[in-house]
């Protein structure tokens, strides 16, 4: 049995110091995570309309309603579409642009600025401007389609239930790929170019070099960007709400939760839906985070 | 190593907690002791209207010696923040809010509104009875009703005259006029349904003219059936207008502002909207405009009117004496004249002597006066009298009908279901 040689009084002092060092973080976790989470759980088991001081306890009624509400399934389906397309598209576009800019020397800063610029624009501005672009009568998208003889494709992009979600998604991809590109670009700066050159000497094609040489080296960063984009797909709200006012066609869990909580005064049901978003997104985030850490420990970090 | 005492750790934790709570803010400073009150209102439609309102408040401040801190928020946001503020005791002293059981009624039930019953009898406010009822809950009058609104069809008189048309006198007549206008190459009737709330106006005006004022009254009171044939037909009349191409294409993609622009710019001959647009039309449109009810199947239809909102006082006002002075002012002829000068319709009789009033506005003043005094058949705005759940069903339902994903019968059934949902 191994016994510590550190005196007991010193161990106590170290323990106290440890508590002292951890305390600020714990306070932040309690105030900004555990307390709101506990509060949300409380509101999900009562029937709170936003006004009543002592809402009645309803047990699991809000959860039962959530699992039997057909609109939840519709919103969840929209979330899944958003997560799949809204995660893959910015990653692919961002990675391709980063690879193209990786070796560019002249005008690189200009390209980076141009592609990253949409990301720093406020969501409200993006939503309003793209709303104009999609306007069925005077929006330039329809004007352009008519001009090139594709008048049959003209539609009310944000009002047509078949196109509304994808129109908003396209806007979100436009606004978000710049972030992925910048992060990938900085990760590529740390890629061992000798390995790439060696692979080239081995007569590998570009796709093989990307898949077998470059991607493994930037994988932790790739997973970090994936995590951020994917979790954002669960909680997406602002751009949809701005562009379509949360119409039925574009309802996702975030807008449906908001609509119930703040438009229909059903805070408890809205909170229950918000908890569903949390319950779905946390496992994904944890899983990707663990994978990222594992790869970092294996020494594949960019 | 220096010993760190538990007491010290506790002190640091306490200090951090205090610092954090300081960072998160708290209730705003009390107004008690000062002569200042806070007044929260929804964002007016135009900057000019806000400037005029500020001038009106300056006038009140000069007369009363009370200072008004005016806070302006988008109307949608008010609902989100107001309840929380009022419950935490940090709300505004006076605020604008929707009337009706689903809105101010909820606040009244929770005891968050100041009971103005005694003030009404003491000061003898001349508010119209129908308006007073809209702010009365459990026999307590809780606010000053603010503005009467009428919804109907605006039409471009010049464009109609050019096509040899006059104001439609029945639904078939309206459709014939729209067909002629369409053939002439203009948009027959501008419309907007992107936001969804426009559905409230559309259904209100079509239903009142088809089913009559008493039926609408019964439906709102909960004694009628929203899935009845009258409601189905009223919804269907709009569906028909859309399918026949009299409304702009993709009407559910057109925002209210853009709908306004189509009519104001002279691109569309007609426009379903409300009296809040009168001043803008008078000042912007380069043509003569008329305002008519949505026609009935065999007649010219009836006007559709309702209350725009109300001004309420917090039960926990920090300065009730000063807040009551503002409520007095809001029910005064002086404030009424300000409203008329802004194209708004007061909820109490106000003489228009000495105020320049356009013929269009004079017409709506006459219509709404008939409604306010209880004379003549006048329909009611549905959305301002119904609950959030009903309104959401109406807004979503109209969008679905226009998009072809729901039939008028299905929508009427969903309205009936929503009308019985608490």
CB contact at 8 A, A96 and A188: no
DSSP A114: H
Using a CB-CB distance cutoff of 8 angstroms, which residues of chain B are in contact with residue A52?
Answer: 110
Q: Give the model's pLDDT for residue B161.
A: 96
**In chain B, which residue's Cα lies nearest the Cα of A10?**
B1
How does pLDDT run across B170-225, given as a tens digit for each residue? Answer: 999 999 999 999 999 999 999 999 989 999 999 999 999 999 989 998 999 899 99
How does pLDDT run across A45-101, given as a tens digit for each residue? Answer: 999 987 777 899 999 999 999 999 999 999 999 999 999 999 999 999 999 999 999
Looking at the domain B151-305+373-419, which fold is it?
Answer: D-Maltodextrin-Binding Protein; domain 2 (3.40.190)
Q: Give the model's pLDDT for residue B201.
A: 95
Subunit contact A136:B248, Cβ cutoff 8 A: yes
How does pLDDT run across B211-246, given as a tens digit for each residue? Answer: 998 999 899 989 999 999 999 999 999 999 999 999
User: Do A24 and A75 have their domain in common?
Assistant: no
Provide the CATH number for the domain around residue A142: 1.10.3720.10
CB contact at 8 A, B67 and B36: yes
The whole-angstrom separation of Cα B233 and Cα B22 is 59
Mean pLDDT of B297-306: 90
Q: Give the model's pLDDT for residue B291.
A: 93
Quickly state the pLDDT bin for B48 (edges 50, 70, 90). Answer: confident
Q: Is residue A226 part of a domain?
A: yes
Burial level of A120, CB count in 10 A (0-12/13-18/19+)?
exposed
User: Do A159 and A288 have their domain in common?
Assistant: yes
Q: Give the model's pLDDT for residue A3.
A: 62
Q: Which residues of B176-203 are buried (b: 16+ CB within 10 A; e: fewer)?
A: ebbeebbeeebbbbbbbbbbbbbbbbbb
Using a CB-CB distance cutoff of 8 angstroms, which residues of chain B are in contact with residue A244?
Answer: 194
Q: Is pLDDT at B412 greater than 90 in this prediction?
A: yes
Q: Does B421 touch chain A (CB under 8 A)?
A: no
How does pLDDT run across B248-295, given as a tens digit for each residue? Answer: 999 999 989 899 999 999 999 999 999 889 888 988 899 999 999 999
Quickly state the pLDDT bin for B2 (edges 50, 70, 90). Answer: very low
The whole-angstrom separation of Cα B117 and Cα B334 is 22
CB contact at 8 A, B129 and B374: yes
User: Do A6 and A123 have their domain in common?
Assistant: no
Low-confidence ranges of chain A (pLDDT < 70): 1-4, 299-302
Q: Is residue A47 part of a domain?
A: no
Q: Is residue A36 part of a domain?
A: no
User: Do A253 and A117 have their domain in common?
Assistant: yes
Using a CB-CB distance cutoff of 8 angstroms, which residues of chain B are in contact with residue A20?
Answer: 4, 9, 12
Q: Does A153 touch chain B (CB under 8 A)?
A: no
Q: Give the model's pLDDT for residue A165.
A: 95
User: Do A5 and A90 have their domain in common?
Assistant: no
Q: Is residue A63 part of a domain?
A: no
* Token representation of residue B413: 């059934």
Q: Is pLDDT at B61 greater than 90 in this prediction?
A: yes
Per domain, the residue ranges of chain B are 5-148+307-362, 151-305+373-419
CB contact at 8 A, A9 and A16: no
Q: Is residue A80 part of a domain?
A: yes
The domain in which residue A1 lies consists of 1-31
Q: Give the model's pLDDT for residue B360.
A: 85
- pLDDT more than 90, % of chain B: 57
Number of domains within chain A: 2
Q: Is residue A49 part of a domain?
A: no
Q: Does B16 touch chain A (CB under 8 A)?
A: yes
User: Do A156 and A210 have their domain in common?
Assistant: yes
Question: For residue B371, what are the contacts with CB-CB under 8 A and spacing of at least 6?
Answer: B130, B148, B150, B303, B305, B378
Helix (H) / strand (E) element for B146: namely strand B143-156
User: Do A153 and A10 have their domain in common?
Assistant: no
Mean pLDDT of B366-373: 74
* Token representation of residue A82: 């958003």
Q: Give the model's pLDDT for residue B366.
A: 79
Q: Does B403 touch chain A (CB under 8 A)?
A: yes
Task: Work out the end-to-end distance of chain B between its first and last CA atoms, rounded to an integer number of angstroms.
Answer: 66
* Token representation of residue B98: 């929707």
Q: Please state, rounded to an integer, the average pLDDT across all residues of chain B.
A: 87
Which backbone phi and psi does B256 adopt, to 5 degrees?
Answer: -55, -45
HSE, side-chain direction, 13 A CA sphere, residue A208: 10
Same fold, B5-148+307-362 and B151-305+373-419: yes
Q: Give the model's pLDDT for residue B41.
A: 92
Q: Give the model's pLDDT for residue B21.
A: 37
Q: Of residues B76 and A133, which shows the higher confidence score?
A: A133
CB contact at 8 A, B146 and B128: no
Q: Give the model's pLDDT for residue B151.
A: 93
Mean pLDDT of B19-25: 37
Q: Give the model's pLDDT for residue B164.
A: 96
Mean pLDDT of B34-58: 88
Interface of B with A in 213-272 (CB under 8 A): 248-255, 258, 262
Interface confidence (ipTM) of the complex: 0.76
Looking at the domain B5-148+307-362, which fold is it?
Answer: D-Maltodextrin-Binding Protein; domain 2 (3.40.190)
CB contact at 8 A, B148 and B340: no
Q: Give the model's pLDDT for residue B12.
A: 40
């Amino acid at each position: 049995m191994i016994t510590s040689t550190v005196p007991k009084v010193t161990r106590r002092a170290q323990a106290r110091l440890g508590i002292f060092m951890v305390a600020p973080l714990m306070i932040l976790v309690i105030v900004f995570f555990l307390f709101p989470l506990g509060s949300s759980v409380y509101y999900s088991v009562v029937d709170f309309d936003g006004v009543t001081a002592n809402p009645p306890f309803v047990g699991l009624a809000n959860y039962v309603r959530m699992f039997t509400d057909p609109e939840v399934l519709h919103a969840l389906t929209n979330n899944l579409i958003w997560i799949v397309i809204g995660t893959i598209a910015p990653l692919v576009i961002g990675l391709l642009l980063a690879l193209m800019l990786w070796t560019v020397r002249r005008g690189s800063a200009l390209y980076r600025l141009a592609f990253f610029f949409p990301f720093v624009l406020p969501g409200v501005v993006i939503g309003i401007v793209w709303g104009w672009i999609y306007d069925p009568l005077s929006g330039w998208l329809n004007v352009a389609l008519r001009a090139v003889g594709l008048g049959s494709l003209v539609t009310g992009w944000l009002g047509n239930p078949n196109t509304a979600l994808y129109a908003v998604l396209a806007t979100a991809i436009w606004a978000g790929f710049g972030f992925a590109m910048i992060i990938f670009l900085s990760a590529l700066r740390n890629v061992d170019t000798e390995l790439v050159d060696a692979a080239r000497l081995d007569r590998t094609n570009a796709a093989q070099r990307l898949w077998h040489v470059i991607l493994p080296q930037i994988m932790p960063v790739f997973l970090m960007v994936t995590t951020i984009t994917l979790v954002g797909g669960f909680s997406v709200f602002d751009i949809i709400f701005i562009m379509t006012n949360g119409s039925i066609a574009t309802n996702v869990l975030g807008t449906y939760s908001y609509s119930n909580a703040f438009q229909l005064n059903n805070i408890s049901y809205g909170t229950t839906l918000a908890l569903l978003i949390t319950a779905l997104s946390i496992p994904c985030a944890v899983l990707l985070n663990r994978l990222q850490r594992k790869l970092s420990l294996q020494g594949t970090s960019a | 190593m220096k010993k760190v005492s538990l007491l010290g750790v506790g002190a640091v934790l306490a200090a951090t907690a205090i610092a954090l709570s300081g960072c998160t803010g708290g209730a705003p400073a009390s107004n008690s002791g000062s002569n200042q009150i806070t007044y929260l209102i929804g964002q007016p439609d135009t900057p000019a209207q806000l400037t005029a309102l500020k001038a009106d408040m300056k006038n009140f401040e000069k007369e009363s010696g009370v200072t008004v801190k005016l806070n302006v928020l988008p109307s949608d946001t008010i609902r989100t923040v107001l309840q929380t503020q009022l419950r935490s005791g940090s709300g505004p002293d006076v605020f604008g809010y929707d009337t009706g059981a689903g809105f101010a009624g909820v606040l009244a039930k929770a005891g968050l509104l100041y009971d103005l019953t005694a003030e009404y009898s003491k000061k003898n406010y001349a508010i119209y009875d129908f308006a007073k009822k809209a702010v009365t809950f459990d026999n307590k009058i809780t606010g000053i009703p603010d503005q009467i609104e009428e919804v109907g069809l605006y039409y471009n008189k010049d464009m109609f005259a050019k096509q040899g048309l006059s104001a439609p006198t029945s639904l078939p007549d309206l459709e014939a006029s729209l067909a002629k206008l369409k053939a002439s190459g203009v948009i027959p009737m501008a419309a907007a349904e992107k936001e969804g709330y426009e559905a409230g106006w559309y259904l209100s005006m079509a239903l009142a003219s088809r089913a009559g004022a008493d039926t609408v009254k019964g439906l709102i009171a909960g004694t009628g059936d929203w899935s009845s044939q009258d409601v189905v037909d009223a919804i269907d009349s709009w569906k028909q207008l859309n399918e026949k191409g009299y409304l702009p294409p993709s009407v559910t993609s057109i925002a209210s502002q853009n709908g306004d622009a189509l009519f104001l710019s002279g691109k569309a001959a007609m426009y379903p909207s409300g009296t809040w647009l009168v001043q803008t039309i008078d000042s912007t449109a380069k043509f003569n405009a008329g305002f008519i009810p949505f026609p009935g199947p065999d007649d010219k239809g009836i006007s559709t009117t309702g209350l725009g909102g109300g001004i309420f006082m917090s039960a926990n006002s920090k300065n009730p004496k000063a807040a009551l002075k503002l409520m007095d002012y809001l029910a005064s002829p002086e404030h009424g004249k300000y409203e008329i000068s802004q194209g708004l319709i007061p909820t109490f009789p106000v003489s228009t002597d000495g105020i320049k009033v356009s013929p269009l506005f004079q017409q709506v003043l006459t219509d709404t006066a008939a409604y306010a005094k209880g004379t003549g058949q006048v329909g009611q705005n549905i959305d301002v009298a119904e609950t959030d759940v009903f309104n959401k069903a109406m807004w979503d339902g109209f969008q679905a009908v226009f998009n072809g994903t729901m039939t008028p019968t299905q929508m009427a059934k969903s309205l009936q279901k929503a009308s019985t949902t608490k």
